[in-house]
Amino acid sequence: MLYVFKSAATADLRMTQVHGEGVLRALGREPAPQGIVLPEQVPPALASLDAAIVEEEAAFAALEEAARAEGGPLPQRPAVMLRQRAWPLRQALERAAAAGKPLVWGV
């Protein structure tokens, strides 16, 4: 499945199912084939996303610290972290909210 996020305020944004579902969870939303984020829902969604990003980065830092303490090899950072993966959707949400337009997918 492919998620296509749309808003009258932005260009369409496409994400594969696994990445789209991960970003939706980070926004505090249950992944679903169809959905909507209203302008007034954007601030709490972005706060949830920010918390998920901080949590992911802290978890990786803890893994690095544990590896250093044990004298083992450092873990390899994922090629794309949540911060990078979610950035286009964050921008789309901010632009949609500023224009007073919803962001939808699956419609």
21-51 pLDDT, tens digit each: 999 999 999 999 999 999 999 999 999 999 9
Give pLDDT, residue 40.
98
Residue with tokens 């969604």: 45
Q: Give yes or no for a contact between 82 and 26, defined as CB atoms under 8 angstroms apart.
A: yes
Q: How confident is the model at residue 10 (pLDDT cuts 50, 70, 90)?
A: very high
Q: Where are the domains of the chain?
A: 2-105
Distances (CA, A) of 25 to 9, 59, 98: 23, 17, 23
Distance CA 88, CA 13 (A): 8
Instruction: Give the pLDDT confidence of 43-54 residue by residue, as tens digits.
Output: 999 999 999 999
